[in-house]
Amino acid sequence: MRATVLQLKCELQARFDVPLGVRKTAETERIPTGISAIDQLTAGGIPRGALTEICGAESSGRTALMFALLGQSTRRGECCAWIDAAGAFDPASAEEMGVDLTRVLWVNCGGNTEYALKSVDLLIQAGGFGLVVLDLADTPDKEARRIPLASWFRLRHAAERTGAALVAVERQINARSCSVLQIEMRRKRPVWIGKLLRGFHTEAESRKHYRTHTTELFVVR
Amino acid sequence: MFACLHAPGNVALLVECARGFSPHIEEIPPGTVIFDVRGLASLYGPPAMLAREIERRVGMPANIAIASNPDAAMHAARGFPGITVIEPGKEAATLAPLPLNLLGGSPDTAELLHLWGVRTFGDFAKLPPLGVAARLGNEGVELQRLAHGNGYRQLRPIADPLDFQAEIELDYPVELLEPLAFILARLLGEVCGALAARSLATNEIRLRLALENAPEHATSLKLPVPMLDQKAFLRMLQLGLNGRPPAAPVLKVYLAAEPVKPRRTQQGLFVPSSPEPEKLELTVARVRHLVGQDRVGTPEISDTHRPDAFVMRAFAPSSASMAIEEAPEEAPPQPRLCLRRFRPPRYAQVLVVNYRPVRVISQSVQGRVVMAKGPWRTSGEWWREDAWNRDEWDVALEAGGVYRLFQEVDSGRWFVEGSYD
């Protein structure tokens, strides 16, 4: 048996780098989100040159997480693109989270998912962006599921080629094997103090690493 | 070395030919153009070959002379037909047979020299300098120096018109954008060529189309950085015309470019990469064509308390190195709840009990309210027609979502402004 395996290895060595083994991938650079629980969950942040999916229901903290990431990226002097399928981006909220808006290219697709996909493809192929966000958070599940896997593969390859961190914000996982990191956000309960909505508890789970962390997001009115 | 073209008549053609060799051109009426040809030996070879190249390009019969100084070149071109190349040091011998009337000077001096029997440059050059100075003064000394072929003056270049425009009148009206693109490509080629010849770029291209039985169609392409990419310009003009096509067939096309100095940057080694401005501009133009003109850019928050007040600016990120130098080391801000806006706010039917919302029915947002906090009244700009005056509520629905509702005070209508996320 051992001899057969060795013979197979020798024959496959010429064609494959690591026959009958696991290929060691290079350590990818990551953008920290600034939220310690999320950085702990993702082993340092969102990876560059790869597709990451962040999914969850409404009021689960997806946008707060993305604005935190956007703030970190723009503070480093990087240019970022926010492709907004529904046109839900709120510049005031982003600025409160420390986002340098002058470094953000916002594309408001007015509810057209197809335009959003074409725009993200054009922008990521152009290169030079540190972070590209595809915001499909308000896109109905039925429509998001219709995005062909080939489109996700194309985007993943473009991200790998240009080195940009590509993040898709959705209600549920759509890109499946094309994404290297999947974070599911779950809302727990809102926190009301007096007449103010102070924030809510939310939970984040890494779908590919099977790790779960609970974090709190706060709002100040 | 200086070259001189002499052909009475079409001086504009001579100037245009000279521009192909040098930006330093002096025009001396009648019909003479002198230009600087120093440093062209590596391109065209020795002066004789350069002279033949000038003759080939000028496209009309003209006298051509090359000499070490502008005056010698001018006298040779005016006096000798065809091509004359004067080697340095042989100016006096070459110019000697030329008639004295080419030398210029005042009429009194010319008459006096004629009376003395001086007929040629050579005759005048042979006269003793001290005698000439004693009898003819400074003018005589200067003229004798020119007769020797010893000029030392600098060129007095003509002012560069810096006029980068091109136009074409069509034989027949063009209805489709595709054939119009060929015409635009040709005009852009001319304008970009003229800019490149002067080492300039442009940050604005203006296009005017004269239409058949319709007002003129004008469009302007404003660029955030100076560019000189003919293909990118053509693509951006095409995208602009596709988005806003001319209302009638095109009769005449006029294109002009605003000249500016080209962009020169040197990025630092540790500065994050940013999109190449030329490429980014074309990409943004494509995206803008896709989603709409006012839907792409950088949001700039307006200085007002009006909800969701911002202006969309062109995306032109400042230098990354500057940003990094100015950014102090600081801890990232605490995560906050962020609003996802519905644009426009969604009209809602809200059931109110004891002045508090208890049920919301709206497009995609509906359910029983489990918690509602408010109201917070905001109002402003009462002096304007679009003043706002409303009561805001934060509500949590049974399904789990947290939303911001508002009720217009004047009309009493309810809207869902967005969801907290």
CB-nearest to A119 from B291, B318, B340 is B291
* Distance (Å) from the alpha carbon of A92 to chain B's nearest alpha carbon: 7
Tens digit of each residue's pLDDT (9 = 90 or more) over B101-144: 888 888 888 888 888 888 888 888 888 888 888 888 888 888 88
Could you report the predicted ipTM of this complex, rounded to two decimals? 0.86
Cα(B241)–Cα(B244) distance, integer angstroms: 5
Q: Mind giving me the DSSP string for B115-167?
A: HTT--BHHHHHHS-HHHHHHHHHHHHHHHHHHHHT---PPP-PPPP----EEE
Cβ contacts of B271 on chain A, cutoff 8 Å: 77
Burial of B354 (C-beta count, 10 Å sphere; 0-12/13-18/19+): exposed
Report the pLDDT value the prediction gives residue A212, as an integer from 0 to 100: 65
Report the pLDDT value the prediction gives residue A160, as an integer from 0 to 100: 92
Tell me which amino acid residue B143 is: L
CB atoms A108 and B295 under 8 Å: yes
* Distance (Å) from the alpha carbon of B154 to chain A's nearest alpha carbon: 49
List the structure tokens of B301: 């928050």
Tens digit of each residue's pLDDT (9 = 90 or more) over B345-402: 999 999 999 999 999 999 889 999 999 998 999 999 899 888 999 999 999 999 889 9
* Distance (Å) from the alpha carbon of B350 to chain A's nearest alpha carbon: 20
Decide if pLDDT at A70 tops 70.
Answer: yes
pLDDT interval class at A48 (50, 70, 90): very high
Instruction: Give the sheet arrangement for strand A165-170, strand by strand.
Output: A211-218, A196-206, A181-193, A50-56, A165-170, A131-135, A80-84, A104-108, B296-301, B310-313
Decide if pLDDT at B291 tops 60.
Answer: yes
Cβ contacts of A87 on chain B, cutoff 8 Å: 295, 341, 343
> How many C-beta neighbours within 10 Å does residue A118 have?
18
Higher pLDDT, B198 or A115: A115
Cβ contacts of A58 on chain B, cutoff 8 Å: 340, 400-401, 419, 421
Cβ contacts of A220 on chain B, cutoff 8 Å: 336
pLDDT interval class at B321 (50, 70, 90): very low
Tens digit of each residue's pLDDT (9 = 90 or more) over B72-97: 898 899 888 888 998 888 888 888 88
Cβ contacts of B291 on chain A, cutoff 8 Å: 107-110, 112, 115, 119
CB atoms A190 and B297 under 8 Å: no
* Distance (Å) from the alpha carbon of B258 to chain A's nearest alpha carbon: 26
CB atoms A90 and B341 under 8 Å: yes
Cβ contacts of B341 on chain A, cutoff 8 Å: 87-90
Interface test with A, best of B278, B337, B416 (most A CBs within 10 A): B337
List the structure tokens of B257: 């470019």
Tell me if chain A has a CB within 8 Å of the CB of B400: yes
CB-nearest to B273 from A109, A125, A128 is A128
Tell me if chain A has a CB within 8 Å of the CB of B286: yes
Cβ contacts of A75 on chain B, cutoff 8 Å: 327, 332
Q: Pairing relation of β-strands A30-31 and A46-47?
A: antiparallel
Tell me which amino acid residue B49 is: M
Cα(B324)–Cα(B346) distance, integer angstroms: 41
Q: Half-sphere exposure of B178 toward its Cβ, with a 13 Å CA cutoff?
A: 0
Cβ contacts of B283 on chain A, cutoff 8 Å: 122-123, 125-126
Q: Of B207, B214, B208, B210, give the one whose Cα is nearest residue B250.
A: B210
Report the pLDDT value the prediction gives residue A19, as an integer from 0 to 100: 60
* Distance (Å) from the alpha carbon of B398 to chain A's nearest alpha carbon: 11
List the structure tokens of B353: 């009990």
Q: How far is CA B416 from the centre of its chain?
A: 47
Decide if pLDDT at A220 tops 60.
Answer: no
Q: Of B350, B348, B341, B344, give the one whose Cα is nearest residue B364.
A: B348
Cα(B26)–Cα(B70) distance, integer angstroms: 9
CB atoms B336 and A96 under 8 Å: yes
- Rounded-to-5 percentages of helix, strand, coil across chain A: 35, 30, 35
A98: Cβ–Cβ under 8 A, 6 or more apart, which residues? Answer: A71, A75, B332, B333
For A220, nearest residue in chain B (alpha carbons) = B336
DSSP H or E run through A114: helix A113-126
Cα(A122)–Cα(B145) distance, integer angstroms: 69
CB atoms B335 and A104 under 8 Å: no
**pTM tops 0.80, yes or no:** no
Cα(B291)–Cα(A83) distance, integer angstroms: 11
Q: Are residues B121 and B101 in contact, defined by beta-carbon separation less than 8 angstroms?
A: no
Cβ contacts of A107 on chain B, cutoff 8 Å: 287, 291, 295-296
List the structure tokens of B97: 């047979």
CB atoms B274 and A78 under 8 Å: yes
CB-nearest to B301 from A63, A89, A92 is A92
Alpha helices in A56-100 (DSSP H): 62-75, 91-96
Using alpha carbons, list the distances in angstroms from residue B270 to A74, A78, B266, B267: 15, 12, 12, 8
Tens digit of each residue's pLDDT (9 = 90 or more) over B147-202: 888 877 888 888 766 779 999 999 899 989 899 999 999 999 999 998 998 889 99
CB-nearest to B341 from A88, A102, A199 is A88
* Distance (Å) from the alpha carbon of A122 to chain B's nearest alpha carbon: 7
Cβ contacts of B297 on chain A, cutoff 8 Å: 105-106
Report the pLDDT value the prediction gives residue A24, as an integer from 0 to 100: 58
Tell me if chain A has a CB within 8 Å of the CB of B370: no
Q: Are residues B228 and B192 in contact, defined by beta-carbon separation less than 8 angstroms?
A: yes
Cα(A137)–Cα(B420) distance, integer angstroms: 12
Report the pLDDT value the prediction gives residue B325, as an integer from 0 to 100: 47
Cα(A107)–Cα(A133) distance, integer angstroms: 10
Cβ contacts of A187 on chain B, cutoff 8 Å: 400
* Distance (Å) from the alpha carbon of A47 to chain B's nearest alpha carbon: 16
Q: Are residues B144 and B123 in contact, defined by beta-carbon separation less than 8 angstroms?
A: no
Q: What percent of chain A has pLDDT over 90?
A: 51
Q: Are residues A35 and A149 in contact, defined by beta-carbon separation less than 8 angstroms?
A: no
Decide if pLDDT at B322 tops 60.
Answer: no
CB atoms B336 and A217 under 8 Å: yes
Tens digit of each residue's pLDDT (9 = 90 or more) over A131-171: 999 999 999 989 999 999 999 999 999 999 999 999 999 99
pLDDT interval class at A216 (50, 70, 90): low
Cβ contacts of B324 on chain A, cutoff 8 Å: 76-77
Higher pLDDT, B318 or A33: A33
pLDDT interval class at A36 (50, 70, 90): confident
CB atoms A76 and B272 under 8 Å: yes
For A196, nearest residue in chain B (alpha carbons) = B373
CB-nearest to B339 from A90, A102, A195 is A90
Tens digit of each residue's pLDDT (9 = 90 or more) over B46-58: 888 888 888 888 8
CB atoms B315 and A130 under 8 Å: no
Decide if pLDDT at A221 tops 50.
Answer: no
Report the pLDDT value the prediction gives residue A20, as an integer from 0 to 100: 61
Tell me if chain A has a CB within 8 Å of the CB of B232: no
Q: Pairing relation of β-strands B63-67 and B83-85?
A: parallel
Cα(B416)–Cα(B345) distance, integer angstroms: 6
